[in-house]
Structure 1
Amino acid sequence: MTDEPQYLTHPATSRWHDGVTIGERYATDMVVAHPMVPVEELRMEPLAPMLVPEEPRSGVLDPSECWHCPARGREHWIWADEHWHVVGAHDSGLPWIGGLAPNAHLRLDELGPDEVTTMGVVIKRLAGAVQSLDGVARTHFARWGDGSAHFHLAFAARPLGMMQARGWMLELWDDVLPRTDAGLLADHNRQVAAAMAAMSGEALV
């Protein structure tokens, strides 16, 4: 017996789904040839069945399990204000990697007027704080949202001069590169938090 919920699923259908073949191993020539993809070989898994309904993301069935929320995740926060908080990683191959999320347990479509009107300002400030770190050329940020229902943006620092890490390859390099010294990551977390707190909110490290 298992306590995990069981889902009755069926294949997803749409005109797009009709155009792909489940079980097909598609060629990767276009990916390998891309100037921003520093790989010599790439072999994809066969295309897996696309089933619905999808299993609920973290925090959907039980918001108390959400690690973006204060109850579980506050120990990882490095800065916060009334509406937003920043998390800084303690393990990475990059100079800095972290995230931005609202303090309240909200999906993107649930953000209130306060979160919507302040989000752009906070994104700009966090991107600038990360880019000001020594050895950083640019701040990347993105939103996927497939792991957690709690809206969040991922931020990462592209190392200065590392042109192989342009675009979406930076996230791959984070796992490939040797681990950044823990003391350096802690210093960078403090610098990012201080830069954010210099304008508003509170540094938590």
Structure 2
Amino acid sequence: MAETPQEWYARARAAIETDGYRHTQLEEWSSWPWTGELTPKPLDPPAEAEPERHGAGGVDCHTCRAAGELDPGYVVWHDDGWMLGLPLEPRAVPFALFLMPRRHADLQDLTPAEAARQGELLTALEQAACAALAVPRIQVARWGDGSEHLHWWLYARPAGMLQLRGTFLSHWDELLPPVPADRFRADQLRVVDELVRRVGGRRTGEGKGSGGSAGLEGRTPVRE
């Protein structure tokens, strides 16, 4: 029988009380963003139930609304099944977009055809970003604990910025000065145009302006 959350917690808590937290060498990584000692928080016990995520069941889901309205202030590319969202908060890295299905679905809900297109798009997005911008590769992350609607976080660092490699890129993205908004948007659209050339879809029309964001201000999917 698999270990239950309660058993996992009891085992981990007992080990912490006896031996403390494990020693890591994270602070020795060149990509570690901080100096000085950090103290781990106490380990909380498992909750009785998982909290409901935003937009559960497609109800009041801002990503579904964005998929329906296709406001170019947020959605910069789409095809029949997928779309790319532009982060609404300032970003420091040269490339950052969300890849999301247009229908309400989490990763485990995708059909084989949707999963195949997802894989094709992730590959093509790295190819497009590397062709359009001075980036070496993209980093792909999925958390999904805050919003039920599947959203892949896509990031890329500037080529040669070795200190930003790997696991902590998303943290550097929040610490460093942001790219000017007009520059950031223009660069994401360069990637979009290259993506269209490679796998189709279309850049979302520019006629509505760029400030509406489908009522999503303050609702960018949280990285949880």
Secondary structure (helix, strand or coil) at the match of 1:137 reads coil
Answering whether residue 62 of structure 2 is matched by residue 67 of structure 1, we say yes
**Cα distance change, pair 101–58 in 1 and its aligned pair in 2 (3 A):** same
Answering whether residue 202 of structure 2 is matched by residue 202 of structure 1, we say yes
Q: CA deviation at 1:101?
A: 1.0
**Cα distance change, pair 29–109 in 1 and its aligned pair in 2 (3 A):** closer
In structure 2, distance between residues paired with 1:65 and 1:135: 38
Q: CA deviation at 1:71?
A: 4.5
Answering whether residue 99 of structure 2 is matched by residue 104 of structure 1, we say no
Q: Which runs of 5+ in 1 are unaligned?
A: 1-10
Identity value in percent: 28
The RMSD of aligned alpha carbons is: 2.4
Q: CA deviation at 1:67?
A: 2.4
Structure with the larger RCO, 1 or 2 (CA within 8 Å, 6+ apart) = 2
Q: Which runs of 5+ in 2 are unaligned?
A: 207-224
Q: Stretches of 4+ moved more than 6 A in 1? A: 22-25
Q: In terms of mean alpha carbon deviation, does 194-203 or 46-55 score higher?
A: 46-55
In structure 2, distance between residues paired with 1:28 and 1:37: 15
TM-score (norm 2): 0.76
More helix by share: 2
Indicate if the aligned counterparts of 1:99 and 1:154 stay in contact, CA closer than 8 A. Answer: yes
In the alignment, which residue of structure 2 is the partner of 1:89? 87
Indicate if the aligned counterparts of 2:133 and 2:191 stay in contact, CA closer than 8 A. Answer: no
More strand by share: 1
Matched residue type, 2:166: G
